[in-house]
Amino acid sequence: MTPFVWLCKRETLRVSKLWTQTVLAPVVSSILFILVFGLSLGGRIKGVGGLDYEVFIVPGLITMAMVQAAYANNASTIFQARFDRYVNDVLSAPMPSWQMTVGYTIGGVFRAVAIGASLLVLALVLVSVPVERPFALAAAVALGLALFSSLGLVVGIYADTWDFTTFISNIVILPLVFVGGVFYSVDVLPSPWEELSHFNPLFYLVNAVRFGFLGTSDVSVWLSLGVTAALAIPACVWAQYLFRSGRRLKA
Amino acid sequence: MYRDVPALELRGLTKRYDESILALEDFDLRIPAGSFFGLLGPNGAGKTTLISAVCNLIRVTAGEIRVFGEPHDSMEARRSVGLAEQDINLDRFLTVRETLTYHGGYFGMDEPHERADELIAAFGLEAKRDVRAPRLSGGQRRRLLLARALMHHPRLVILDEPTAGVDFELRQDLWRYIRRLHEDGTTILLTTHYLEEAEELCDEIALIRDGHLVARDSADGLRAHFGVERLQDVYVKAMAG
């Protein structure tokens, strides 16, 4: 297992060395959302489902910060390694392909958990957010991170330019998370927007995490976890296929 | 004992890139254990493709590759090979010492720190041990690349144009180190454009053109075979076809 452990260490070291960019910056921007939308404007907004607005938005904001970090970290680490060709050091090593896949995934998971844990502590201090269903929360976070860490790897392996990795983040992931009910309950949307929201896969992840924190969500937690798992499994398999076959990694 | 088994054996190795470029075709090669083997050929002859195939860096179209008798993609074979690539491909986030220790870790070393320090001293990189790769000079990067290839005590060291673009002093230093390595029993596969380098270092030289092996022998043997006095003339004749 030694090669695998060293790859995991390398991926977490990269996050630690760049901690102001990788952890501090997303924590600060998420806290600003809580301060501006929650504490400042939240007083003018009626609570959602019996919850104070500043408490209601915390799970969605944590989800948004974590999935973006998991994606961005892994897309950039593998793209950079391909671009500078130091990925060859790993590809030639005595390491089974699944260890390469998991090793490269770990960086995104580590970064996302560092951000999520920091935000949780700050949210507890600022708005006393509860954690009603810790096991559901853990399951939702694990599936969400598996999905977005793997997606980051896949995009980073296919990308020909740096812009492509950020394009997916800014044009696909961020809008889907925003309209996935981070700032509102989809129940308040008029038809057909409420129905359309159910086709947004990020809606289920946000709701699964919200259920873990607050004990309530717009849809069944089992449906939310099921949809997230149904996306996470193919993403993990796709990433593993790329490392196993060498497609896009080896000429 | 393992000297009975060739360090590297290629049988029918073929590599066709996606753009349909045929880089190697039905290529056979056997490199004895303990030898210092040179691979010469012009740009695009297939030298780097051959090396990349051995090191699992490209997908082989057809053929078989064995390293000390083991399939090249087996864990045992991977552990046996150290590669210094032609282009500088150092991890930009790691310092000199981290570059070596992490490489050692990837290749299965439990305690790579001592070996890393040994190589840092051997390659004169003590003053740069905590400096990240992008801040090193060209010569220092080249040294680090070679040190990284040797980190895990490979039995077969593959050097892809290790002295390309380096100054005379560094080239002499690298030659000295590579020679010592060979004297210690390590098999060396060297590709180079410098004919005097191949003649100076290698026991045997293979000439490769358009993905095919043109000739292989000692420098003297090649001269005799082609009926010329200088290795340069051998090269010109062989490449002219």
Q: What is the mean pLDDT of chain A?
A: 94
pLDDT at position A186 is: 86
Tokens encoding A53 = 């607005």
Measured in angstroms, the CA of B15 and the nearest CA of chain A are apart by 10
Q: What is the pLDDT of residues A103-161, one digit of tens each?
A: 999 999 999 999 999 999 999 999 999 999 999 999 999 999 999 999 999 999 999 99
Nearest residue in chain A measured CA to CA from B148: A89
Q: Are strands B187-191 and B62-67 parallel, antiparallel or unpaired?
A: unpaired
How confident is residue A178, by pLDDT bands cut at 50, 70 and 90?
confident
CA-to-CA distance for A152 and A169, rounded, in angstroms?
A: 9
pLDDT at B19 over 80: no
| Residue B199 CB-density burial (10 A; 0-12 exposed, 13-18 middle, 19+ buried) | buried
pLDDT at A236 over 90: yes
Task: Tell me which chain B residues have a C-beta less than 8 angstroms from the C-beta of A86.
Answer: 89-92
Measured in angstroms, the CA of A218 and the nearest CA of chain B are apart by 43
Q: What is the pLDDT of residues B128-187, one digit of tens each?
A: 999 999 999 999 999 999 999 999 999 999 999 998 878 888 889 889 999 999 999 999
| Torsion angle defined by CA atoms of residues B179, B183, B185 and B191, in that order, rounded to the nearest 10 degrees | 20
CA-to-CA distance for B74 and A38, rounded, in angstroms?
A: 56
How confident is residue A189, by pLDDT bands cut at 50, 70 and 90?
confident
Task: Tell me which chain B residues have a C-beta less than 8 angstroms from the C-beta of A85.
Answer: 85, 87, 89
Quickly count: other Cβ atoms within 10 Å of residue B225's Cβ: 14
Q: Are strands B36-40 and B204-209 parallel, antiparallel or unpaired?
A: parallel
CB pair distance less than 8 Å for B102 and A6: yes
CB pair distance less than 8 Å for A2 and B109: yes
Count the residues in chain A.
251
Mean pLDDT, to the nearest integer, of B211-237?
A: 94
Q: What is the pLDDT of residues B185-208, one digit of tens each?
A: 999 999 988 888 999 999 999 999
pLDDT at position B165 is: 78
Residue with tokens 């793997």: A150
Q: Is residue A27 part of a domain?
A: yes
Q: What is the mean pLDDT of chain B?
A: 94
Substitution target from B17, B49, B106 for chain A, most A beta carbons within 10 A: B106
Q: Is residue A126 part of a domain?
A: yes
Lowest mean pLDDT of A79-88, A179-188, A233-242, B110-119, name the range: A179-188
For residue B8, give Cα distances in angstroms to A201, B86, B157: 51, 20, 11
Residue A122: domain span: 2-245
ipTM: 0.94
pLDDT at position A18 is: 94
Angle of CA points A172, A146, A235, to nearest 5°: 65
pLDDT at A100 over 70: yes
Using a CB–CB cutoff of 8 Å, tell me whether B109 touches chain A.
yes
Q: B204, B217 in Cβ contact below 8 A?
A: yes
Give domain limits for chain B.
Answer: 2-85+153-240
How confident is residue A1, by pLDDT bands cut at 50, 70 and 90?
low
Task: Tell me which chain B residues have a C-beta less than 8 angstroms from the C-beta of A3.
Answer: 105-108
For residue B49, give Cα distances in angstroms to A22, A67, A250, B210: 37, 39, 11, 11
Q: How far apart are the first and last CA of chain A?
A: 27
pLDDT at A41 over 80: no
Q: Is residue A192 part of a domain?
A: yes
Percent of chain A with pLDDT strictly greater than 70: 99
Measured in angstroms, the CA of B216 and the nearest CA of chain A are apart by 28
pLDDT at position A130 is: 94
pLDDT at position A35 is: 87
CA-to-CA distance for A232 and A142, rounded, in angstroms?
A: 10
With a CB-CB cutoff of 8 Å, which residues 199-218 of chain B face chain A?
none
CATH C-level class of B2-85+153-240: alpha beta
Number of domains in chain A: 1
pLDDT at position B2 is: 52
Based on DSSP, count helices (H) and strands (E) in chain B, helices before strands: 9, 10
pLDDT at position B3 is: 55
pLDDT at A37 over 90: no
Q: Is residue A250 part of a domain?
A: no
Nearest residue in chain B measured CA to CA from A103: B106
Using a CB–CB cutoff of 8 Å, tell me whether A10 touches chain B.
yes
CB pair distance less than 8 Å for B90 and A84: yes
Task: Tell me which chain B residues have a C-beta less than 8 angstroms from the C-beta of A248.
Answer: none
Cα-trace Rg, chain A: 18
Q: Is residue A116 part of a domain?
A: yes
CA-to-CA distance for A25 and A118, rounded, in angstroms?
A: 12
* Phi-psi map region of B69: left, alpha, beta (phi>0 left; psi -120 to 50 alpha): left
CA-to-CA distance for A97 and A103, rounded, in angstroms?
A: 10
